[in-house]
Amino acid sequence: MTEFKFKLVVAVRRDLDMGKGKIAVQVAHATISVSEEAKRHHPDWWRRWYDEGQCKVAVRVESEDDLHKLHSEAEELGLPSVIIQDRGLTQVTPGTATCLGIGPAPAELVDKVTGNLSLL
Amino acid sequence: MTEFKFKLVVAVRRDLDMGKGKIAVQVAHATISVSEEAKRHHPDWWRRWYDEGQCKVAVRVESEDDLHKLHSEAEELGLPSVIIQDRGLTQVTPGTATCLGIGPAPAELVDKVTGNLSLL
């Protein structure tokens, strides 16, 4: 197993029952948004993550409250973190928080927030 | 339905039977990689897509041949286009082509390549 020093994690709400295409697009949206934020505030983290192979992991949470809790924890640690709200064109109500992106950042910092969550 | 002028499409192989978390991460990888390519070669397209709300669509294909065919068509039209090969740490053999990102680019150009494909 390759050991990555930097990672980006997306936590996805499972309680919304989104289809796999919908989930994929939400995770992509979170990845783009949070990596742009990292690029602005931690360009060194972004660059090392990108060159290392852009480790990305999707994990699951059970509620919108979980997303907000993780978001607060990530911000307390100074990690790039973005909650994605869907436009609601398909499958969910407009403005629904669907997922949360954290990183790219040093893996040991990200793991403090998401290390105990199960893979999606 | 909001009308987007720019879009990014990711075509995902359905024949690999990847799980939804795996698919999400592959689509995110394609989105990051192809949007970085667009940023270098078509920064105007990237900026307009980003400001417009980053329309992303996941569609399905049935084989690796389909990915290569779409890739060629996209390149002939001068569209940013990247095939994602998986490291094969989980679920698939190392080097397996899992998906193809096209864009962000003007929607009518992208539709010439992927307009007849079904949503994932």
ipTM for the whole complex = 0.83
> Residues of A numbered 8-47 whose beta carbons fall under 8 angstroms of chain B's beta carbons: which are they?
10, 12, 20-21, 23-33, 35-36
| Number of inter-chain CB pairs under 8 A, A vs B | 81
| pLDDT for res B86 | 87
| pLDDT for res A2 | 57
CB pair distance less than 8 Å for A2 and B58: no
Q: What is the mean pLDDT of chain B?
A: 93
Mean pLDDT of B31-51: 95
Q: Please give the Cα distance from A44 to A100 (Å, whole number).
A: 22
Q: Any idea which of A69-73, B69-73, B91-95, B108-112 has the lowest mean pLDDT?
A: B91-95
So where are chain A's domains?
6-114
For A11-30, write each residue's pLDDT tens digit: 999 999 899 999 999 999 99
Superfamily of domain B6-114, CATH level 4: Bit1 (3.40.1490.10)
Task: Write out chain B residues lying below 8 Å of A10, CB-based.
Answer: 24, 28
Q: Please give the Cα distance from A30 to A92 (Å, whole number).
A: 16
pTM, two decimals, is 0.88
- Number of C-alpha atoms within 13 angstroms, CB side, residue A58? 27
For A39-65, write each residue's pLDDT tens digit: 999 999 999 999 998 899 999 999 999
What is the three-class DSSP state of A98? Answer: strand
